[in-house]
Amino acid sequence: MAGRVEEEEEKAVFDAEAAGALVKELRGTFSSGKTRSYEWRVSQLKSLLKLCDENENEIAGALRQDLSKPELETIVYEVGMLKNSCRVALKELKHWIAPEKAKTSLTSFPSSAQILPEPLGVVLIISAWNYPFLLSLDPLVGAIAAGNAMVLKPSEIAPATSSLLSKLLLKYLDSSAIRVIEGAVAETTALLEQKWDKIFYTGNGRVGRIVMAAAAKHLTPVLLELGGKSPVVIDAGINLQVATRRIIAGKWGCNNGQACISPDYIITTNDYAPKLVDTLKTELERFYGKTPLESKDLSRIVNSNHFARLTKLLDEDKVSGKIVYGGARDKENLKIAPTILLDVPRDSLIMNEEIFGPLLPIILVNKIEESFDLINSGTKPLAAYLFSNNKKLKEQFVMSVSAGGLLINDTALHLAVETLPFGGVGESGMGAYHGKFSFDAFTHKKAVLYRSLVGDAVIRYPPYTTGKMRLMKALIGGGIWNIIRALFGWGKV
């Protein structure tokens, strides 16, 4: 009995010393060259696919326990997207790791050059709770494909998924190079005190700043996937039923609004708003019924703290009378119904922080073009959406709105296109991943120049004569005639 207690106490302690020992162990593995081999990378990616195929029910169960996540959302948005990332990496890996030829100039003649992708080393991945399976393992795909050793720190706010990840990665992946550390603030702090070769963090800006400050002590590069208030601009003259369905899918169909690219607010004109609200009501009732709190197709709010935060936004005096649909809540089961608020004041709480929940305010403007300045007056969002058939308006939106990514006539779907980089700008993040961008995120592109010992150019060396100066200027200025003039002393170079 005493031995079991001691074992549990030992397991519970993960401090800076333990974190340092772990990083040292992983550096030993990386230094051995094991993770650099093509065969190792392929074996780990195939094992991740096997993990998904053999544990689908367990994964769905953990996500149901953490978030009441509908099984379809689990299979499509978490497991399915991860499997697609693995397949893309396996298909393209040989191309990604191949050296890239680079042109050389007359200055280095005779020579050849290449850009060699090499792994960064030992990396730290700190994940989020809203898509706790996908957002833990999708960055891992890039780190593996690039040939790194790594530590994954899942979110303690999704404990069932965190525990499952710890168990499954130990079973399916190479524990000498890939480790999972569970825990909360103390464990994350211990990890952040170490020197890493890159830190990949998904979460909010407040913690992002903490991560960045810790990384700065060691000059560690960071990739921050944050969030922000992602706007939806709705122009008149569109197929409103299709548009509202796509907005609902991106808002409430993605974790009940608890997603970084979830539509955060709508901007439309005074004239068009009544029609928009009526169509949203109709389609929401069609999807979730007259009593949405009872719907099995809506995730719950992750915990009581987030529930209290959302009800505070909803109950503020400035917006409490603006609810035109929904507003129902169930504190015991942590559920809030899809809620629409019309003509919300711009200085309200709900318009000054990321909502990350099932509340959708609508802002009114006189002309739809006013929406672009309104968006740009705030911090840069992770995503921005426009619904319009107007070609000129689309072009203006693309050229004038700064966001991590833009999507015309849909929401959230750009996340699934692996040929597009996914990432933020400004306060919505830095760096990008998905597809080859994930490989690049964990790779250093090393420049290599090869020269022969034959054909040494004496003009490089002292004494620096007038003739050498003239020839050097010609080389810098470029152009074969300049060089000929310099060689024969014909006029000014």
- Residues acting as catalytic residues: 225, 260
Tell me how far apart the alpha carbons of residues 41 and 145 are, in angstroms, rounded to a whole number.
Answer: 6
Q: What is the CA radius of gyration of the chain?
A: 27
Give me 162's structure tokens: 């965190």
- Give yes or no for a contact between 173 and 149, defined as CB atoms under 8 angstroms apart: no
Q: Is the dihedral of CA 158, 208, 141, 248 positive or negative?
A: positive
Q: Are 297 and 71 in contact (CB under 8 A)?
A: no
The single-letter code of the amino acid at 172 is: Y
Listed in sequence order, the residues at least 6 apart from 184 whose beta carbon sits closer than 8 Å to its beta carbon are 156
C-alpha span between 369 and 163 (Å, rounded): 48
CA angle 39, 42, 48 (to 5 degrees): 140
HSE, CB side, 13 Å, CA atoms: give it for residue 137.
Answer: 31
Q: How far apart are CA 285 and CA 377, in angstroms?
A: 34
| Phi, psi torsion values for 155, nearest 5 degrees | -80, 130
Place of tokens 């426009």: 386
d(CA 257, CA 69): 12
CA distance 444 to 395: 35
Exposure b/e, 156-184, CB count within 10 A at least 16 = b: ebbbbbbebbbebbeebbbeebbbbbbbe
Give the Cα separation of 167 and 144 in Å (integer).
Answer: 18
Peptide bond into 421 cis (omega under 30): no
Query: Six-digit token pair at 267?
Result: 């901007």
And the tokens for 99? 């050296």
Query: What residues pair up with 115 in beta bridges, in sequence order?
Result: 100, 447
Which single residue is written with the structure tokens 């000929």? 484
Q: Which of 205, 470, 220 is nearest to 354 (CA)?
A: 205
Number of Cβ within 10 Å of residue 418's Cβ equals: 20
How many helices (H) and strands (E) in the chain?
Answer: 18, 20
Residues 70, 73, 77: CA angle, nearest 5 degrees: 155
